[in-house]
Structure 1
């Protein structure tokens, strides 16, 4: 009991010295974020002039007996005038040769054909008529036969309802 009284006195003494903080609430506007410009140097590349044409020369040729591919192409330029030619074997047996020139006046092409058109001779088919294929009945075992499943239908008894019984009221 003495302990309880001592604790109560300490609590009263501590509560007497407690005072709430007295201040006026103030509002300060938030500071707007400030961003500095990025500090970097842009890459410096030399100016590329795509208008000047460089002299060049190339050529290729394909002759494949297995696929009957037969063509070639060659071209040459001095920077101002481009000349070239290409040749291709056409399916009808002729060879098409195109010689061209491209300069400040435009594109000029000269097209020539060599050889004569060759068409394959018509060959009558070895088979004179078509007969529909004859199929025999498939040879497989018939699917196994299963009897219908046997089960008993469920049996339910009539629902049993027990009505509550109350005593007659007494007056």
Structure 2
């Protein structure tokens, strides 16, 4: 319960502390529908990677400058291969991706589990 209250208080604090992206008045200075504030060219870089003791291995890297976005992501597949996707978006070109695989797929031989046999009852 304490955790839920903490999360709720944190969300309210973030909401109240976030500046508005919109101007409360239009270009004539009159209150009206929300009008977006002008912003510069979007530019950012980010990346992350996860590799843990359970066998999870995945990550993502992306950079953007204006309308030019490029990046890649990868994931370790259950069959042992690594799937990697390189992509880019430039203006209205849409999402263009190239998918590749590293390694050889491994399929272990099926070993059925022993079936359950009830213990004899004496009575």
**How does the TM-score come out when normalised to structure 2?**
0.62
CA shift digits 1:89-137 (9 cap, x unpaired): 0000011000000122111000001100001234465x5x753322345
Closer, same or farther in 2 for the Cα pair 1:44/1:124, shift >3 Å?
closer
CA shift digits 1:24-72 (9 cap, x unpaired): xxxxxxxxxxxxxxxxxxx94684347865100000000012x211001
Residue ranges of structure 1 left out of the alignment (5+ in a row): 1-42, 138-171
Residue 107 in structure 1 maps to residue 91 in structure 2: no
Closer, same or farther in 2 for the Cα pair 1:130/1:107, shift >3 Å?
closer
Q: Equivalent residue for 1:158?
A: none
Residue 60 in structure 1 maps to residue 42 in structure 2: no
Closer, same or farther in 2 for the Cα pair 1:70/1:50, shift >3 Å?
farther
Residue ranges of structure 2 left out of the alignment (5+ in a row): 1-22, 27-34
**How does the TM-score come out when normalised to structure 1?**
0.46
**Candidates 94, 112, 120, aligned match of 1:134:** 120
Closer, same or farther in 2 for the Cα pair 1:49/1:101, shift >3 Å?
farther
Closer, same or farther in 2 for the Cα pair 1:50/1:69, shift >3 Å?
farther
Q: Equivalent residue for 1:84?
A: 71
Q: What is the aligned length?
A: 92
Closer, same or farther in 2 for the Cα pair 1:62/1:45, shift >3 Å?
farther
Residue 96 in structure 1 maps to residue 83 in structure 2: yes
More helix by share: 2
